[in-house]
Amino acid sequence: MTRPHEPTVPQNSARHDAALHDPRATEAFAPQHAALDTLAPLELVRTFVDDQLTAVQAVQAAAEHLTRAVEAALPRLERGGRLIYAGAGTSGRLGVLDATELTPTFSWPPERAVPLIAGGEAAIRTAVEGAEDRAELGEQDVRACRAGPDDVLIGVAASGTTPYVLGAVRQARAQGALTVGLANNPGTPLLSAVDCPVLLDTGAEVVSGSTRLKAGTAQKIALNTLSSALMVRLGKVYGNLMVDVKATNLKLEARALRLVRHATGADEHAARNALTASQWNVKVAVVMLKLGLSAPEAALRLDAANGHARAALGKI
């Protein structure tokens, strides 16, 4: 007979132990945070902030693998390929964010940044239960977007085991696309299923299993790094200036004006005139002012240099 107040041992102790000891580090219990709910506000905030440093360290450790992904993806994008993102939950939303921000930041055509998220657009704001558990949905989404040999699919899954992402990767490879995988657990199926595996080993979370914390931060840094490095190599910056920014509001118009003045040394009047003549294309305005060309002439020179401002200016 079980004594009062004594914990009951499950009949199937092996199954109980397996449930307690998930091999994925992102699902582990961090003993150093066992008293999290007793911390004073300042200590609580510092705990969360300090734990984020692990995310930076994880991406630093993955730098060589990210570099391989950049090098493999670049020629496909130069041929006109697309960046396709596949994820579920937080990972999927981070993919949507990265894809969305490429257009205003680098004038990357929106049709060439395709975010796929388990459960569709509704899952951006609302959890769509069960969608991530179906590999066939990932396969269907990749078929629907017609991924091909010039495309790059980036599969993102903290666990490294998400069926939706694995299905998307499998289908993308079958259709000839390059596949990149970001996962926060070593030895997981996603990392073995892709052409370019990137391990972001962030370990256990402060709040057990909540991969929206440092695992998500590491994914965000890695995605920022991967896509931004590709944009730089594709000529979307001049020096470190955002010369392909889309000036779609007053803030961005002011930024465009500052960029042109900084790059050329022109006064505000000349910079604004060049931007107006180039329909607020910063890159064209810079080439106009530095070489004394008209807007059409500057645009042709950039086209001949495949959009690289430094090459168009003869400063390779």
Q: What is the DSSP string of the chain?
A: -PPTTPPPPPSSHHHHHHHH--S-GGGS--GGGTTGGG--HHHHHHHHHHHTHHHHHHHHHTHHHHHHHHHHHHHHHHTT--EEEEE-HHHHHHHHHHHHHHHHHH---GGGEEEEETT-GGGGTS--TTGGG-HHHHHHHHHHTT--TT-EEEEEESSS--HHHHHHHHHHHHTT-EEEEEESSTT-HHHHHSSEEEE----S-SSTT-TTTHHHHHHHHHHHHHHHHHHHHTT--BTTB-TT----SHHHHHHHHHHHHHHH---HHHHHHHHHHTTS-HHHHHHHHHHT--HHHHHHHHHHTTT-HHHHTT--
Is 64 a residue of the active site? no
Please pick, among 132, 139, 268, 297, the residue that the annotation labels catalytic: 132
Is 6 a residue of the active site? no
Do the beta carbons of residue 246 and residue 185 sit within 8 Å? Answer: no
Please pick, among 27, 78, 101, 297, the residue that the annotation labels catalytic: 101
d(CA 204, CA 202): 7
d(CA 16, CA 10): 7
Q: Give the long-range contacts of residues 34-39, CB within 8 A, separation 24 or more.
A: 36/206, 36/207
For tokens 């041929």, what's the residue? 79
Indicate which residues carry an active-site annotation. Answer: 101, 132
